[in-house]
Structure 1
């Protein structure tokens, strides 16, 4: 799909979600996004990483402090 020219339609593409056709409406060159435009995404990315790290620490702490007995 990345090699298609503007206006071109891809062959059928199979994904885990089904079969798809991809049509390229226009091609744009690469660009560097202004910080103002992406600062929210950066903040979300960093916050998510911190949340995951704290959750892993919490789960590890609970596992070491808990007594679990499996009765079968």
Structure 2
């Protein structure tokens, strides 16, 4: 049931046109982003969780053009 509600909210939400542009990950300094992501996740969770951090890294490096 939560997915139906989420889908309705997603359809009703107006996103800026910039959100439709894909990002070419070859032009992004991924190492800087990895350091920031690891620090932010550690700050939010209160400790360093390698599983969550690696999951985020894998999602980031998954494809060349990220939505």
Report the TM-score when normalising by structure 1. Answer: 0.27
TM-score for the superposition, normalised by structure 2: 0.28
Per residue, is there more helix in 1 or in 2? Answer: 2
Higher relative contact order, chain-length normalized (CA < 8 Å, sep 6+):
2
Q: Which has the larger radius of gyration?
A: 1
